[in-house]
Each structure stands twice: as C-alpha cells, then as structure tokens.
C-alpha cells in the first residue's frame, strides 16, 4: 500500500511564513550581487553567517573549493543524514538569469525552518553549499572529494517557467577547442599564412551539417571566444567553447568522438591543427527519486502549488546534480516563477527571479521541502521506500522520461 502522506504541521507553515521577509531580503541581496562560478565569496558569507547564527556547525572551503561549504545541525539521536543543497552562482554577462538566488534563499529557509520546528530531530541535517553549477561542476568535484559521503538523500529545487516534480536532464561535456594556424600579412602575403579562424569556421559548418544525423535529444552548441587579433593579420589562434549534450552518458560517449572528428577534419581542410580540453567534469543524466518527488508534490498541493508529473516534452538542460543523483537519492523539482515559455538564462528570467511572484512560489516550495526533510529524518519507513526506489532505478537513470 502507498505510504500515507502526513499533513504539513501548522507550526512549520507559520515558521516559514515568519521567515518570508528574511527569505526575500536575502534573495534580493544575492540578486543584486551576482557572482560567477567559483567566485561566490559574498554569497557564501551571507549564507554561512545565517546558518552559524542558527546553531549550525559551518565548515567553509570544503573539497579544496573556497566557495563551497557545509553546515551541520546535529540531532538528539542517531539517524540518517539528509542534505539540503544550495546553489548561488550567476551567469556571466546576465547575472541571476537562472534564479540561483532563489535556490540559495529558499533552500536556506527550508533548512532553518526544519531545524527550528524540530531541534531534537533524529540524525543529521546538513546544508551543502555547492558553487560553480554553471559550467564548473562544483557538485561533481565535491562528490569526488568525499563531501557527500554518508549522506542518505539530498533535496533542492530550481526556478523555471513551469512547476514540475522532476525533469529529465542531458549528459554534457564542456569542450574548449583551440585551432592553431600560421600568422601572415592578410594583404601582402596571405598564402604564407594558415587561418585558425577558418578552421573554426569550417568546424562550425561541419557541426551544422551533422545536426540532422544526430539523435533528437542531442545538443551541440557553442561560441567563438577568440578569432584573431587584427583584420590584417591571418589569425594564428582561434578558440571555441562548446557544449556537447546527449540523453545519456553512453550516448554522449558515442557522439563526442564524432564532434572531435569534425574538428580534426576542419583542421585538415584548412592546414591548421586543433587540440581540445574538457573545461569541467562530465555531467551525467539525472536519476530522479520519485518517492521523494511525489511526497513533496503532495505537500505543495496543500499550499496551492501544483507540481506537474514529469513528461518527455518538457525541455531539458544539464546540471551537476545528475552526478549526485546516481550516487544517492536526490530530487530536483522545478517551481514556476514566470510565464510559461520565458527563456531560461535570459534577462527576462533574471528579472523574474526578483519578483513577488517568485518569492511567493519559493515560500511554498521551501515549506514543502522543510516538511519532506523532517519526514526523511524521522520516518524510517519512508526513507526505506526512498532507498528501495533508488536501488531499483539506479540501473535505469532518468526514469521520468518514461512517465
């Protein structure tokens, strides 16, 4: 039989509601001080300071990452370790166009409310500050360096243009391609040169030609970050940053050599050479834990926030939460803060991330997350069901695509 869903305690609702002004003030403060990946020093001070003031044991600079931290609230008895994950990095040139200011403020509020509601909870409540999600793979580095050791499950949420219990996500490789040519005077003797920019141009054309022959889930997109220094000099170096994504890690392993072969072919055609590096750890697809996601959805429904079931047609990006999700049970639901169809990573999304509508939604998701965290800490039967689903689904990631 399904595990019965308890009702959110009135005291917990009140606790979160009373923290709403602080939630909104923190969110707007972080929004006004955007910091890009691994440079989030101001955000860490604000978040860690509030957690320390609430009695959490704070450890900054974990995993040899200056802007990563953990904050631990020890319960009155033995039990599981449940983590609330915070993100707080902004996008270069855009600011908080992905709404990480809301993730940080809302996740912090959920953790503080859970600890205040039940200070003598069993087990351990941990807040994990994860920097560099936007192309840096901070969670992956923290996972590899032991920060998630002993964590039984982890929860977080993400703002979006729709509210979802879960969403499929793409495995991703972050590539930097550098073409090397030979400099020459572009007017007097261009035949003495070999244009690295031409190599990059031919490569991008080759990628465009590949698109009809790659799977529908695949994405290959990038930007030219350097194409030369002066119009009258044949460029001897050109550089591109490129993301290659696929529906699974196995599919990505098959697509990536084709993309790199196109780069080698472009270099051969233009008399240049090319090399590549991966600028971040490889992101995996996501293994959504629907036992937790459905429990959260039941809680938020009490508050008037309906989290839709996952569906394949919902567009997907990539996140380093995927790597964590194949190591332990995780949820990454989405909460609507703007009209459906508002593009992510845009100025419109940035402005939506500071509105009363956004903070209303985050107050509700924070309340639901606080209730869920207390269930995970104090209800062994529920946690067992979460673990059982994780072990059953870990061999078939991204189950939500099948829903």
pLDDT in tens, the chain (403 residues): 556 778 999 999 999 999 999 999 999 999 999 999 999 999 999 999 999 999 999 999 999 999 999 999 999 999 999 999 999 999 999 999 999 999 999 999 999 999 999 999 999 999 999 999 998 999 999 999 999 999 999 999 999 999 999 998 999 999 999 999 999 999 999 999 999 999 999 999 999 999 999 999 999 999 999 999 999 999 999 999 999 999 999 999 999 999 999 999 999 999 999 999 999 999 999 999 999 999 999 999 999 999 999 887 777 789 999 999 999 999 999 999 999 999 999 999 999 999 999 999 999 999 999 999 999 999 999 999 999 999 998 754 444 443 3
Q: Return the pLDDT at 170.
A: 95
Specify the DSSP element, H or E, that contains 358. helix 356-378
Residue position matching structure tokens 């270099």: 267
Are 284 and 139 spatial neighbours (Cβ–Cβ below 8 Å)?
no
Are 372 and 8 spatial neighbours (Cβ–Cβ below 8 Å)?
no
CB atoms within 10 A of CB 343: 11
Structure tokens at 299: 């809680």
Q: Return the pLDDT at 6.
A: 84
User: For 163-176, what is each residue's pLDDT tens digit?
Assistant: 999 998 999 999 99
CA–CA dist 163, 180 (Å, integer): 46
In angstroms, how far is the first alpha carbon of the chain from the final one?
Answer: 20
Q: Return the pLDDT at 209.
A: 96
Where are the alpha helices (H) located in 122-222, listed in sequence order?
A: 138-144, 196-210
Structure tokens at 176: 């930097």
Are 348 and 338 spatial neighbours (Cβ–Cβ below 8 Å)?
yes
Identify the structural domains of the chain with CATH numbers, from first to last: 10-168+285-402 (3.40.630.10), 171-278 (3.30.70.360)
Strand order in the sheet with 273-278: 219-226, 237-246, 171-180, 273-278
CA–CA dist 381, 393 (Å, integer): 18
DSSP-derived 3-state class of residue 385: helix
CA–CA dist 138, 61 (Å, integer): 12
- CA dihedral 10→13→18→21, nearest 10 degrees, is -160
Q: Return the pLDDT at 3.
A: 60
Q: Return the pLDDT at 161.
A: 96
Structure tokens at 325: 């999700």
Cross-strand partners of 84: 127, 155
Question: In whole angstroms, how large is the CA radius of gyration of the chain?
Answer: 23
Q: Return the pLDDT at 315.
A: 72
Q: Return the pLDDT at 395.
A: 57
Are 139 and 77 spatial neighbours (Cβ–Cβ below 8 Å)?
no
Are 164 and 316 spatial neighbours (Cβ–Cβ below 8 Å)?
no
Q: Return the pLDDT at 400.
A: 42
DSSP code at position 249: H
Q: Among 118, 152, 171, which Cα is nearest to 327's?
A: 152
- CA dihedral 381→382→383→387, nearest 10 degrees, is 100
CA distances from 41 to 199, 328, 345 (A): 39, 28, 22
Cross-strand partners of 71: 58, 127
CB atoms within 10 A of CB 37: 19
Cross-strand partners of 290: none
Q: Among 91, 143, 151, 134, which Cα is nearest to 243's?
A: 134
Cross-strand partners of 216: none
CA–CA dist 123, 81 (Å, integer): 6
């Amino acid at each position: 039989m399904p595990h019965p869903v308890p009702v959110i305690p009135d005291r917990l609702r009140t606790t979160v509601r009373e923290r709403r002004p602080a939630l909104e003030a923190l969110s707007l403060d972080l929004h006004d001080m955007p910091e890009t990946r691994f440079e989030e020093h101001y955000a860490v001070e604000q978040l860690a300071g509030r957690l320390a003031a609430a009695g959490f044991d704070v450890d900054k600079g974990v995993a040899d990452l200056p802007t990563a931290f953990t904050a631990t609230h020890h319960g009155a008895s033995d039990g599981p370790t449940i983590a609330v994950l915070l993100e707080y990095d902004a996008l270069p040139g855009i600011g908080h166009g992905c709404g990480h200011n809301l993730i940080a403020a809302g996740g912090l509020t959920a953790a503080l409310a859970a600890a205040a509601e039940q200070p003598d909870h069993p087990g351990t409540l941990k807040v994990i500050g994860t920097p560099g999600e936007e192309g840096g793979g901070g969670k992956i580095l923290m996972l590899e360096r032991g920060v998630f050791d002993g964590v039984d499950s982890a929860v977080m949420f993400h703002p979006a243009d729709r509210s979802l219990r879960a969403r499929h996500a793409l495995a991703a490789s972050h590539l930097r391609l550098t073409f090397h040519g030979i400099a020459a005077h572009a007017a007097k003797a261009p035949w003495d040169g070999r244009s690295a920019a031409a190599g990059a141009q031919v490569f991008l054309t080759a990628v465009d030609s590949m698109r009809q022959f790659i799977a529908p889930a695949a994405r290959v997109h990038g930007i030219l970050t350097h194409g030369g220094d002066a119009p009258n000099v044949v460029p001897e170096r050109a550089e591109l940053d490129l993301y290659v994504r696929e529906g699974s890690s196995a599919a990505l392993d098959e697509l990536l050599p084709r993309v790199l072969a196109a780069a080698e072919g472009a270099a051969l055609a233009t008399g240049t050479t090319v090399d590549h590096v991966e600028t971040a750890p490889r992101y995996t697809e996501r293994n959504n834990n629907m036992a937790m996601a459905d429990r959260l959805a039941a809680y938020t429904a009490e508050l008037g926030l309906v989290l839709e079931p996952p569906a394949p047609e919902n567009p997907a990006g990539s996140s380093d939460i995927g790597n964590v999700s194949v190591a332990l049970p995780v949820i990454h639901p989405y909460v609507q803060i703007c009209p459906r169809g508002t593009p992510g990573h845009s100025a419109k999304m940035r402005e939506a991330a500071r509105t009363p509508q956004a903070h209303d939604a985050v107050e509700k998701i924070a309340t639901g997350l606080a209730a869920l965290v207390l269930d995970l800490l104090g209800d062994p039967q529920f946690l067992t069901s979460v673990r059982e689903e994780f072990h059953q689904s870990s061999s078939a990631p991204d189950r939500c695509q099948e829903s």
